Amino acid sequence: MSSTVQAAVPVQVHRTRLVSGVIRSDLNYSTILPRDYYVDEKIFEKEFEKVFSTQWTYVGHVSQVARVGDYFLDNIAGESIVVVRESADRISAFHNVCRHRGHHLCSSESGNVRRLTCPYHFWSYGLDGNLLNVPGSKDGANFDYNDWPLKRVNLEVFHGFIFACLSEQPPASLVEKFSAVSADLETVKTESLKEVGRESYEIHANWKTLLENYLECYHCQGSHPTLCQSMDLQAMFRGTDEWQEPYFTGKVPLRPGVKTVSMDGQLVSKPLGDLQKLDEVPEGFGTGFGIVPLLSRVLIHADHVVVHAMRPLDVGRVKWETRWYVGSDAVEGTDYRAANVAAVWSATNKEDAALCQGAYNGVRSRSFTPGPVDDSRESAIPAALRAYLELMQAD
């Protein structure tokens, strides 16, 4: 069904309907995409090139590569990449692919190395990706080492958060795209965080089903009792109206008297950055930013940070990962307990995983046709799907 991809598919639909015996011509609603977009392997294959490779994608935090030689692996758009601290002031990313016969250079998920050495024929590369040694072949004897560096992956460190993009022409800098939250990020010093929890879920659903679920809080009251204890639901409906751009900013709005997203609304770690200098954490403090359609979402509360990111695995399977961070100076057992920091989103993730799998069961039915989206509560969905279609149709 790849023909659907070629044609412009309207996400915005206009209809004239008979409502309570009266002809209404003013109805104007959106839908999600036609079913094929969620089940067709060929469309999924095209998404690797057009969507997953072309956006900035969250891969980690600078605290994971604090020392020169620290590295970690990730996988974006089906490609294994190595993120490594090259020097005190530079973090780089490379394809995890040896220039000789392609063997992966690193197999451990993280570590510290002086060189990146291939385990096959032991070619070794510097932390800057340059080829340094080829056993049995001096530089210039058979070929010039300079011609065979590791292939770089574009990388941007934004206030301590590391994003990668496979495209040789990545989108504009995140500094530009998220300038609206830069002052807040300065205040909370997001470069100085440490990871205190991580959860991954392999969810049996198309990745766009997860995306749509994340972008609306229509389902929250009925399905997320824990999250709704601290989140202001009505404000959240209004808040998602602002997520109309593929690179958007916005926070989790809190209920009156609530200081952070936690089980009881009270802080679960010491305040971040300059908030420690204040007598009291400002009521309702929060900020954040996100990227769609391939979702990366950073939520910053007064005392901790939550990051969600997705990795599509196949047309009906997606990895959803959440990481929790507190200030690097916070002490476990004194300032925070990791289980308390993670409690709300850990519960919410499980609820969302079940909802998305349930929804996808129906989307897979040949009887499924997309229903109307409630623009007063779900308006971020058609905006993200329009952004998706633009990427799919780009040259």
Contact yes or no for 77/391 (Cβ under 8 A):
no
Give backbone dihedrals phi and psi of 356, rounded to 5 degrees, phi first.
Answer: -65, -40
Q: Give least dist CB 148 to Fe ion, A.
A: 47
Which residues in 190-229 contact ligand FES (CB under 6 A)? none
Q: Provide the mask over 61-100, with x wherever binding to ligand FES is found by CB under 6 A and - wherever it is not.
A: -------------------------------------x-x
Q: How far is the CB of 79 from ligand FES (least distance, A)?
A: 17
DSSP, res 191: T
**Shortest gap between Cβ of 195 and ligand FES (angstroms)?**
31
For Fe ion, which residue has the nearest CB?
Answer: 352
H-only helix segments in 137-246 = 174-177, 182-188, 207-214, 220-223, 225-230, 233-240
- Minimum CB separation of residue 151 from ligand FES in Å reads 13
Which residue, among 56, 308, 306, 327, has the nearest Cα to 175 in the 3D structure? 56
- Asked whether 91 and 162 are in contact (CB, 8 A), the reply is yes
- Determine the Cα–Cα distance for residues 161 and 53; give it in Å rounded to an integer: 19
β-pair partners for 199:
322
Interaction of residue 237 with ligand FES, rule CB under 6 A: no
State the nearest-atom distance from the C-beta of 121 to ligand FES, in Å. Answer: 3
Kindly tell me the sign of the dihedral angle through the C-alpha atoms of 211, 216, 222, 227: positive
Q: 122 or 143: whose CB is closer to ligand FES? A: 122
Residue 204 contact among ligand FES, Fe ion, none, beta carbon within 5 to 8 Å by kind: none
Nearer CB in complex with ligand FES: 111/372: 111
Task: List the single partner that 352 binds among Fe ion, ligand FES, none, CB under 5 to 8 Å by kind.
Answer: Fe ion
Which residue from 24, 90, 101, 151 is in contact with ligand FES, where contact means CB under 6 A?
Answer: 101
Provide the 8-state DSSP code for 285: -
Q: Is the distance from CB of 34 to CB of 8 less than 8 angstroms?
A: no
Residue 185 φ then ψ, to 5°? -65, -35
**60: how many CB neighbours lie within 10 A of its CB?**
23
Of 117 and 328, which has the nearer Cβ to ligand FES? 117
The Cβ of residue 357 has, within 10 Å, a number of other Cβ atoms equal to: 15
121 binds, among Fe ion, ligand FES, none (CB under 5 to 8 A by kind): ligand FES
Task: Look at strands 79-87 and 70-76 and give their pairing.
Answer: antiparallel
Q: Which residues of 16-44 are buried (b: 16+ CB within 10 A; e: fewer)?
A: eeeeeeeeeeeeeebbbbebebbbbeebb
Position 103 contacts ligand FES (CB under 6 A): yes
Rounded CA separation 231/226 (Å): 9
* Residue 150 or 387 having the CB closest to ligand FES: 150
CA-nearest of 12, 14, 38 to 27 is 14
Which residue in 348, 10, 386 sits closest to 212, CA to CA? 386
46 binds, among ligand FES, Fe ion, none (CB under 5 to 8 A by kind): none
Residues making contact with Fe ion (CB under 5 A): 352
For the bound state, the minimum distance from the C-beta of residue 181 to ligand FES, rounded and expressed in Å, comes to 42
Task: Report the C-alpha gap between 392 and 166 in whole angstroms.
Answer: 16
In the region spanning residues 110 to 129, those forming contacts with ligand FES, defined by CB under 6 A, are: 118, 120-123
Residue 118 binds what, of Fe ion, ligand FES, none (CB under 5 to 8 Å, by partner type)? ligand FES
Rounded Cα–Cα distance for residues 315 and 40 (Å): 7
- Residue 120 interacts, among Fe ion, ligand FES, none and using kind-specific CB cut-offs from 5 to 8 Å, with ligand FES
CB of 349 to Fe ion, least distance (A): 9
Least gap, CB of 115 to ligand FES (angstroms): 12
Binding site partner of 101, from ligand FES, Fe ion, none, Cβ cut-off 5-8 A by kind: ligand FES
Residue 185, CA atoms < 13 Å, CB-side half-sphere: 20
Residue 102 or 372: which CB sits closer to ligand FES? 102
Choice between 162 and 210, CB closer to Fe ion: 210
Interface ranges with ligand FES (CB under 6 A): 98, 100-103, 118, 120-123
